[in-house]
Structure formats: structure tokens, C-alpha cells
Amino acid sequence: MKTVIFCLAGLFAINTSNSITGTWNVSSAGAGFSSVVFKNNGTYECYTGNTVALNGTYTFNETDSTLIIEDDGCYDITGTYRVHLSGNADSLRFTPVNDDCFTRKVSVQSALLTRPGLQ
């Protein structure tokens, strides 16, 4: 269940230009995913190897670093997270603001995402 939860953060509204867009490697014992791709169209995909394991939607507000997600792991439950970018925006962590999907919350808050080539 933890595997599904990390990617479940399918956030709403579409921001086509943000600092989290692109591919991220996932470092977390409980996440169950090897990478996540935040696309310009407001969708994201979580991968296990080369296989899509979870899909969702997201909205990222750069002004207050808030991420809103919804995914197919926690149907009809949105999660809101504060995004903490580090370095040159090459790694990020999440702090839950509000998410009633317990499994996703546990998985997302324990994850460290890094740009490929930085691990």
C-alpha cells in the first residue's frame, strides 16, 4: 500500500512552468517507486523500474511552495504538501499540510527526490 501512496499525490490545477517539472529519482525505503515524473500538463507518473505504477494530477504554487496532489491510489482524496527545494532545486522533500490518505502521507513525507545523476 505504501507503494501506491507515494505517487497518489495527484495534484490539481495546472501550472505549466514550475521548478518541480521533470524527472526525479526517489530515495525512500517505504516509497516503493524508483522515480517520479512531473509533467508540464499537471499530471505525474510514478515508476517502478520502467513501469508506470501510479498516475495522478498536481498543482504546484511556487509562491508558497505548496503542492496539491490527487492520484489513483487514494481516489477523491487530495493531499496538500509544502515542498522544500534544496541546493539548486535539485532535491526536494515534502511536509504534509493536509492529507486524509494516511498511507500516502506516510510515504510522501519520508521521500527524498533528487534529479537524476545527483545520487
- pLDDT tens-digit map of 67-78: 999 999 898 899
pLDDT of 94 > 70? The answer is yes
Q: What percent of the chain has pLDDT over 90?
A: 51
pLDDT of 35 > 70? The answer is yes
Report, at the CATH architecture level, how domain 2-114 is classified. Answer: Beta Barrel (2.40)
pLDDT of 12 > 70? The answer is no
pLDDT of 89 > 90? The answer is no
What one-character DSSP code corresponds to residue 100?
Answer: -
Q: What percent of the chain has pLDDT over 70?
A: 80
Q: What is the pLDDT of residues 55-70, one digit of tens each?
A: 999 999 999 999 999 9
The pLDDT value recorded for residue 27 is 84
Q: What is the DSSP string of 48-73?
A: ETTEEEEEEEEEEETTTTEEEEEETT
Give the residue from 42, 8, 9, 6 showing the smallest Cα distance to 25: 6
- How high is the mean pLDDT of the chain? 82
User: How many residues does the structure list for the chain?
Assistant: 119
